[in-house]
Amino acid sequence: MASQERHRAKKRRPVEEVLPGMLAHALDTREDLILTFETDPDTGAEHVYAMTGQFVSECMLKKLIGKAESQRDEGSVLFRQRLQKRRPGA
C-alpha cells in the first residue's frame, strides 16, 4: 500500500496547472519564462519545456522580437507591457 501512495505522489501535473505558478514566480523575480516545444524526430514523441531563470540577453531579445514581428502574418503574437516599479520591501 505504501508503494501505491508514493506512486500517486509522483503523478505528473498537467502543464496547465504548473504554468500559472511559474508565471507568477517569473513576474515576481523578474526572471525570463521560456516555453517551447520539441518533437522527437525518431519517435514523434512531443515534449513541452518550461523554464525560468536568466536566459535572454538584450541582444537575443532584440533578435527574438524581430523574428516574432516578421512572422505575424504566420500567426506569431508579441506581447509587451511596462511593469510597475517594485515597492521597497516587496
pLDDT tens-place string over residues 58-90: 999 999 999 999 999 999 999 999 998 877 765
Q: How confident is the model at residue 7, as a pLDDT?
A: 53
What is the structure's pLDDT at 87? 74
Q: Give every CB contact of residue 56 below 8 A, 6+ residues apart in sequence.
A: 32, 34, 64
pLDDT at 71: 98
- pLDDT band at residue 9 using 50, 70 and 90 as cut-offs: low
Residue 10's pLDDT is what? 66
Task: Tell me how many degrees the CA angle 42-13-35 measures, rounded to the nearest 5.
Answer: 60
Question: pTM for this one?
Answer: 0.76
Own/partner pairs for 74-78, CB < 8 Å, 24+ apart?
Answer: none
pLDDT, tens digit, 9 for 90 and up, residues 11-68? 789 999 999 999 999 999 999 999 999 999 999 999 999 999 999 999 999 999 999 9
